[in-house]
Structure 1
Amino acid sequence: MCRMIGFIMFWIALGMIISMFIESVFISVSIIFLLIICGFNMFCH
């Protein structure tokens, strides 16, 4: 469980770094929404 939380925290941090370089808020929100849907489907199905 600890390794999974660390893995998740790593990818959250990487996503935050990438989002600093995306200037458009609409594109950032679109990417976040798309990744949440994909992650939910992969985790729950």
Structure 2
Amino acid sequence: MKKMCGFVLFWIAAGMTIMLFVKSCVLGICLIIFCLVLAYNLFCSK
């Protein structure tokens, strides 16, 4: 289940990255970084 959550969060962050090309926002950057770090921790944990 952790790997699935990590995978989902990774793609949410990818979607937010695409959102940045439409409209730049500091909050969006913070959310992207948070989701990528959380996704890495969930997906790569043993």
- TM-score range (shorter-chain normalised) is 0.5 to 0.7
Partner letter of residue 11 of structure 1? I
- TM-score for both structures, normalised by structure 1: 0.53
CA RMSD in angstroms comes to 2.4
Report runs of 4+ in structure 1 exceeding 4 Å deviation: none
1:8 aligns with 2:4: no
Query: How many residues end up aligned between the 2 structures?
Result: 31
Unaligned runs of 5+ in 2: 32-46
Amino acid at match of 1:5: G
Deviation at 1:21, TM superposition (A): 1.0
> Larger RCO: Structure 1 or Structure 2 (Cα < 8 Å, ≥ 6 residues apart)?
2
Q: Establish whether residue 18 from structure 1 lines up as the match of residue 14 from structure 2.
A: no
TM-score (norm 2): 0.52
Unaligned stretches of 5+ residues in structure 1: 36-45
Q: Does 2:33 match 1:32?
A: no
Max Rg structure: 1
The share of aligned pairs that are identical, in percent, is: 14
